[in-house]
A and B are shown apart, each in its own frame.
Chain A
Amino acid sequence: DTGVSQNPRHKITKRGQNVTFRCDPISEHNRLYWYRQTLGQGPEFLTYFQNEAQLEKSRLLSDRFSAERPKGSFSTLEIQRTEQGDSAMYLCASSFPTADTQYFGPGTRLTVL
């Protein structure tokens, strides 16, 4: 499978715990994006990278959230001190830098108890 992959697919955690998600983009894609989606809503942009550089961050990305892409390949999204409001689907997408089409992974469903 050469699509975008995300792990884990599901994560249940207790409030106050830290969680980390991983995204592996399509191998030729330089750009990698993170979005958050709550039930019944469209995905909301969080941040994106071109290679290892983080080019834009949304105001939704509070200081409890951090994303990295250290070698310009896979990326991790960490949420510290999780809150119930963090419960959502976290989606990763990738694209070529010269193309606008973004291809999404299956998402990581986070539930904070």
Chain B
Amino acid sequence: GESVGLHLPTLSVQEGDNSIINCAYSNSASDYFIWYKQESGKGPQFIIDIRSNMDKRQGQRVTVLLNKTVKHLSLQIAATQPGDSAVYFCAENNRGGKLIFGQGTELSVKP
């Protein structure tokens, strides 16, 4: 797998490797975080979410880690597949209606 620094817009991995996508959030009062996957020309698709009272949550092939101390969120994708190629956005919510999105990371999976 390959880890990227914060705010890096692209990540290229080999099919079958693990991917780690990082995100920094801005508001220490945010209590809900969510990862979306967006393919070209489509709307964001929900992947996984986590509340601030947790530090880890697992889904199918995906894991989200939350570090509130440094306001950092990461998305881990196991055994990355070509269909995982997309832009991934993290978003935060502070008990309000709106989501605040990060810049996004473009994941490219090489066969």
Is B97 engaged at the interface, CB distance under 8 Å to the other chain? Answer: yes
Chain B: interface residue count, which band? 20 to 34
Q: Are A100 and B100 in contact (CB under 8 A)?
A: no
**CB-contact partner of A104 in B43, B49, B102, under 8 A:** B43
Task: List A residues 75-107 near B (Cβ within 8 Å).
Answer: 91, 93, 100-107
Chain A residue numbers with a CB within 8 Å of B46 are 101-104
Q: Are A45 and B98 in contact (CB under 8 A)?
A: yes
Is A70 engaged at the interface, CB distance under 8 Å to the other chain? Answer: no
Chain B residue numbers with a CB within 8 Å of A33 are 97-99
Give the A interface residue count (CB, 8 A): 26
Q: Are A104 and B93 in contact (CB under 8 A)?
A: no
0/1 per residue, A9-52, Cβ < 8 Å to B? 00000000000000000000001010100001111110010100
**CB-contact partner of B43 in A44, A55, A56, A107, under 8 A:** A107
Given contacts A42-B103, A106-B42, A107-B43, A56 and B98 within 8 Å (CB-CB): yes
A58 and B41 alpha carbons, distance in the complex (Å): 24
Can you name the residue of chain A whose Cβ is closest to the Cβ of B45? A104
A103 and B44 alpha carbons, distance in the complex (Å): 8
Which residues of B come within 8 Å of A, CB atoms?
A: 32, 34, 36, 41-46, 49, 89, 91, 93, 96-104
A100 and B34 alpha carbons, distance in the complex (Å): 9
A8 and B95 alpha carbons, distance in the complex (Å): 32
Q: Are A107 and B34 in contact (CB under 8 A)?
A: no
Known: A31-B97, A106-B43. 10 other contacts (CB 8 A): A33-B98, A41-B103, A42-B89, A42-B104, A50-B97, A102-B99, A104-B44, A105-B43, A106-B42, A107-B43
Q: Are A45 and B99 in contact (CB under 8 A)?
A: yes
A4 and B46 alpha carbons, distance in the complex (Å): 13
Can you name the residue of chain A whose Cβ is closest to the Cβ of B49? A101
Contacts A/B (CB < 8 Å), 30 sampled: A4-B43, A31-B97, A33-B97, A33-B99, A41-B104, A42-B91, A42-B101, A42-B102, A42-B104, A43-B44, A43-B89, A43-B99, A43-B101, A45-B98, A45-B100, A55-B97, A91-B43, A91-B44, A100-B93, A101-B34, A101-B46, A102-B34, A102-B46, A104-B36, A104-B45, A105-B43, A106-B42, A107-B42, A107-B43, A109-B41
